[in-house]
Amino acid sequence: MIAKSTILWIAVSCVASGVLYQTSYQAQEQERELARLNRAITVEQDSIQVLKAEWAYLNEPARLERLVSEHLLMQPTTAQQIAALTDIPDRNPDQPAPHTPIPGRKPGTPKPDMIDRAPRTAPVPTPPQRQPEGPMLLARYGATR
Q: Summarize pLDDT for 105-143 with one digit per residue, the tens.
A: 666 666 655 555 555 666 666 666 666 666 655 555 555
Distance from C-alpha of 105 to C-alpha of 18, rounded to nearest angstrom: 75
Helix, strand, or coil (residue 137):
strand
* Cα separations in angstroms, 81 against 68, 87, 89: 20, 11, 15
The Cβ of residue 136 has, within 10 Å, a number of other Cβ atoms equal to 15
5 or 110, greater pLDDT: 5
| Residue 111, amino acid | K
CA atoms within 13 A on the CB side of 118: 8
Distance from C-alpha of 74 to C-alpha of 143, rounded to nearest angstrom: 7
- pTM given for the model: 0.42
